[in-house]
Amino acid sequence: MPSFGERLAELRKEKGLSQQELAKLFELSKSAIAMYETDRREPSNESLNELAIFFNVSTDYFLGRTDQRTPIDQLSTHTSSPTEPFLNDLLKKVPDLTDEEKESLEEHMQFAIKIIEKERLRRRAAAQKKDGDVL
């Protein structure tokens, strides 16, 4: 099975990102990404999870435990969420999406989710720092 680094490089290239662009998205150095891709360095658990979310794969896929790319939570029985009617309404506005347009939309949504998650992490860190200052 391919290594973590090989899988990271493959997924990065599939998204059309350079090492520099991926590094910027994750606030890492280009050399960190290069070392990940050559298996000379391993990401922290937090970074591994963030990369898995960004590339929409399970951490098990990244770690070579499976060849299944789909995140495990998506493999379980699908249940409806409160946001589904909203998303379905949005999709009804553009009913004739090509496969390429659907793929582009998915990539943009994944990027938006990544930004939201980064902002949540930043707010949590700021709140923890503030709590630490108060003590």
83 has a pLDDT exceeding 60 = no
How many distinct structural domains can be found in the chain? Answer: 2
Domain that holds residue 65: 1-77
Mark which of 52, 77, 102 sits at the end of a domain: 77
pLDDT tens figures, 66-80: 888 876 555 444 444
Distance CA 4, CA 13 (A): 14
Domain boundary among 30, 59, 77: 77
Statement to judge: residues 103 and 116 lie in one domain: yes
Q: 51 pLDDT exceeds 60? A: yes
Which pLDDT score, from 0 to 100, does residue 78 have?
A: 42
**What radius of gyration, in Å, describes the C-alpha atoms of the chain?**
17
User: Is the confidence at residue 23, as pLDDT, over 80?
Assistant: yes
Could you tell me the pTM of the whole model?
0.56
Do residues 103 and 111 touch, judged by C-beta distance below 8 A? no
pLDDT band for position 1 (cuts 50, 70, 90): confident
Summarize pLDDT for 84-133 with one digit per residue, the tens. 666 677 777 777 878 788 778 877 888 888 888 888 888 877 777 776 65
CB-CB neighbours of 17 under 10 Å: 16
Cα–Cα separations (whole angstroms), residue 28 to 20, 24, 57? 9, 6, 20
64 and 90 part of one domain: no
Is 48 in contact with 62 (CB distance < 8 Å)? yes
CATH of the domain at 37: 1.10.260.40
